[in-house]
Every structure is written in structure tokens, then in C-alpha cells.
Amino acid sequence: MRKMKKFVAVSTMIALAMGVFTTGGFEAKAGTSSTFTINYINNNDGSLLKSYTDGATLVFDGDTEATVNTSLTEDDHTPLYIFVEYDSNQAEDGYDMFLSPHGQAGMGIPVITTAAAQDDPGAVLTIPVPDGYNAKSAKYEDENGDWKAVSSYTNTSITYPVTGYFYEHSEEYGMVYGITNTWYVELKKSAIDIATLKDQAKLADTEYTYTGQPIEPEVTIPNLKKDEDYTVEYSKNTDIGTATVTVTGIYNCYGSFTLEFNIYKPILAEGAEAKDSTGTATYQVISNADNNFTVKYVAPANADEKKITVPDTVTLEDGTEAKVTEIADNAFKGNKKVTNVSTGNNVENIGAGAFQDCSNLKNITIGANVKTIGKNALRNCKKAKVITVKSKKLTKIGKNALKNAGGKSGVTIKVPKAKVKAYTKLVKKAGASKATKVKKK
């Protein structure tokens, strides 16, 4: 059986002033509170195990005005030391660590108070839990020498009621708060190295589509519960790329491991509209087969732009690269500002009414792969002067596509030498005026 070590300073010590035990633990009235640095010392050799900056808090009961004197902490001295004993015979059987608090002034903590010597107020102490030990297992020793569960705990700290008394120590330290056996704590080691369970851990999914918001897939580990046995922290989990999940053991578990999942840019659906990366124009997805995107030019972003170039390819606002293979129906219809248009060499189809009623459009260049021009495409472009056709693949010009193009003076249409005859026929069927001329480039 273990040996009990106690420090009871005065015979008039009472259990707890102004505090009560309940089934939920110790409850103290709101009182003066001090937070201060605390050192953990190896009891065997006196070496510093760890210093916790602002790691401890002492709260006196509501009628006691006292604060820990932290002004006497030169030379790395702290108001409170915890001497750590491993496998101590002072702890209960089955416990692995015994914590024995000592004050900077021997068995007292220097305080600043208006209280009188021999006053023995109760207090509540919060201290850190050493790495690898289970806060849930923590017990403190009450004034009768019985071990009781601490009042509350987190993964990294424990809180429990303590008793003490004020007394004048010395000129150096002044008034101190005397430490008693009620400050002792026993702990068990955390039993499970969670890193050994990485292969059993599962993410809800490992592939996600970019949303612009943080993505946090659930992590499950057989026979363990999140926030009871482990915590989960996410990083790089918003942007496109590889996200990391850090799983850390808590309470009866210790250690950590990481998992990864991927965030992909969304695949634009067929029919979806998107602006290009520079915000110059709007496009619509025609096809996304095998992630090979083709789009149609829908409309310019700036209706006042005078010179428009429809590109061969475009980078959409989500980073998708796409070929521009069409100009949409009515893409520029009624635009009074545009004067010059050039279509890219991937454009194959110019939609119906694409440039209809563009009253100031003068020069149009049609790219090398255009196959069809829709009905009314250039209707009423009365100021049109020159249409340059690079394509040798044009097979159809729709009804009235050239009606009133160039007005009464007609328009000059420059075409590849080998296509003058064939394209002349297409132009006549498209409603071009008799003044319109088709000639080689």
C-alpha cells in the first residue's frame, strides 16, 4: 500500500472556505485570479522537465483579495514548482505519476493580499498535464487523505480545489499562501499511441471539388471517438491542391499522424457560363469531354469596346483552358460601339444574328477554320467595308446573313484565291447587295 505524504501547517485548517463540493465537482464563488508561469521538475535529479509560460491559474474564493506575486521570478524562479515523481509509492496502485507542488518560498507561494496571517481561504488551482498523461485519470488528495477525481479537465490541463493558509514568510517573500497535501495529484499514462492506428483511420472522402470554403471531411477510427480520444485539425483545406488532416491523441491516447485529401477545381458543366480570367468576355461551355473544353463566345464584358478579338483559346476564371470554337447567337447584336472584329482560328461556327445591327462595325476578319455563318449574322451592318475570310472550309452562309451589309454601297469580301467562285455563290444566297464584291485576298 502507498505511503501518504502530507503537509498540514496549522491545526485550525478547514476544508474549504466559501466553496462546496457537488456532484459536478467543486464550485467556488468568483474571486481574485492569478495566472503565472510554472516549472515542472524531475524529482529524481532536480532537472527542469518543462516550463509552462502562464500555464497555471490560482483563483481564491470570492471573499479573499489576494493575487500571486509574480515580481519575484528572477533567475527563472516561478511562484509554483511541480516536482514530478514517476511510479511513486505515494500514488494509488495503477497510477504512473505523482505531482508534488512546492512554492517559491518553500511550501508557500508569495502573494499580495490584504488578508491576515493564519487566514485559510479555499482556492481552485489549474495546472498543465505533462505530455503523454491522461487528464481524465487525474485525482487530487483531499484534506482527509482520500483521492478524488479532479473538478474539471481538458486534454492539457486539470482544475481542482486546494486548501491553504496565509503566513508571513520572510522579508524577501513577505506573505505567502501555504501549500498543503490537497495540492497533490496522481495521473495515469495515456495508453494508446494513436500513430499505430493510422492505417485504420478513414476519411469520409479523399477527393473534393473546390468550393472556395474550408472542406473538413470526417475522420473515423474504429473503437475511438472524436473529441474524446482524438482531435482533428485541418490545413490547406480551402484552395485547390492537397489538404492535410492532423489527428492528435488526447486523454487516453497520445501521439499523432496525418492524412491527406485532394481538392480539385470544379469541372464546368456543359452549358455553364463563365468569364475569362481577365474579365474580358463571357463564354459558355460547349463540351468538357475528357477535360478537353470547348466554349463559345457569348458576349463582351465591356459593351463600349470598339475593337474585339475573339481568341483561339481562353483561360476561364477558374483556371480552365478552353478552345473557342463558336460565336454565340446574337453575341454582338445591336452593339453600337464595336468597329472591328477578328475571330480566332479555332472558331468554326458564327451564330445567327451574331453581329446583326452593329451599326458602326466596319471591318470583320473571319478565322481560318470557320465552316458556317448563321442567318442574319451581319444583317444591317450598314457601315461594313471589308470582310476578310481566311477560311477555306466555309460551306454555309445563312439566310439574310449579309442583307444590308455595307448599305447601298455593298461590302468588299476578301477570300482565298481558290474559293472566289464557290464563296461568290454563298454570298449571293445570303442576301448580299448587288454592289457587294467578292475577290481574292
Residue 94 lies in a domain: yes
Residue 45 in any domain: the answer is: yes
Q: Are residues 157 and 198 in the same domain?
A: no
3-state secondary structure the chain: CCCCCCCCCCCCCCCCCCEEEECCEEEECCCCEEEEEEEEEECCCCCEEEEEEEEEEEEECCCCCEEECCCCCHHHCCCEEEEEEECCCCCCCCCCEEEEEEECCECEEEEEECCCCCCCCEEEEEEECCCCEEEEEEEEECCCCCEEECCEECCCEEEEEEEEEEEEEECCCEEEEEECHHHCEEEEECCEEHHHHHHHCEECCCEEECCCCCCCCCEECCCCCECCCEEEEEECCCCCEEEEEEEEECCCEECEEEEEEEEECCCCCCCCEEEECCCCEEEEEEECHHHCEEEEEEEECCCCCCEEEECCEEEECCCCEEEEEEECCCCCCCCCCCCEEEECCCCCEECCCCCCCCCCCCEEEECCCCCEECCCCCCCCCCCCEEEECCCCCCEECCCCCCCCCHHHCCEEEECHHHHHHHHHHHHHCCCCCCCEEEEC
Domain region containing 151: 19-189
Pull the grid cell for residue 27: 464550485
Q: Where is the domain boundary, 219, 235, 264?
A: 264
- Contact in structure between 201 and 259 (CB atoms under 8 Å): yes
Q: Which residue has the cell 499562501?
A: 177
Q: Is residue 8 part of a domain?
A: no
Task: Please tell me whether residues 204 and 107 are part of one structural domain.
Answer: no
Is position 4 within any domain? no
Same-domain status, 44 and 177: yes
326 and 214 co-located in one domain: no
Per-residue confidence in pLDDT tens, the chain, 441 aa: 233 333 333 222 322 333 333 333 334 344 689 999 999 999 999 999 999 999 999 999 878 889 999 988 666 689 999 999 998 888 899 999 999 999 999 889 999 998 888 889 999 999 999 999 999 999 999 999 999 999 899 999 999 999 999 999 998 899 999 999 999 999 999 999 999 999 999 999 999 998 889 999 999 999 999 999 999 999 999 999 999 999 999 999 999 999 999 998 878 889 999 999 999 999 999 998 888 999 999 999 998 999 999 999 999 988 889 999 999 999 999 999 999 999 999 999 999 999 999 999 999 999 999 999 999 999 999 999 999 999 999 999 999 999 999 999 999 999 999 999 999 999 999 999 999 999 998
Q: Is residue 100 located within the same domain as residue 225?
A: no
Write down which residue in 264, 285, 306 finishes a domain.
264
pTM of model > 0.75: no
Establish if 154 belongs to a structural domain.
yes
Q: Which of 189, 222, 253 is a domain's end point?
A: 189
278 lies in the same domain as 257? no
197 and 182 inside one domain: no
Is residue 6 one of the residues assigned to a domain?
A: no
CA distance 94 to 378: 91
Same domain, 405 and 309: yes
Residues 432 and 304 reside in one and the same domain: yes
Q: Is residue 2 part of a domain?
A: no
Here the CATH number for the domain that contains residue 368 is 3.80.10.10
Asked if 244 and 297 sit in the same domain, the reply is no
Decide if 36 is inside a domain: yes
- Judgement on whether residues 172 and 233 belong to the same structural domain of the protein: no
Judge if 43 and 179 occupy the same domain: yes
Provide the number of structural domains found in the chain.
Answer: 3
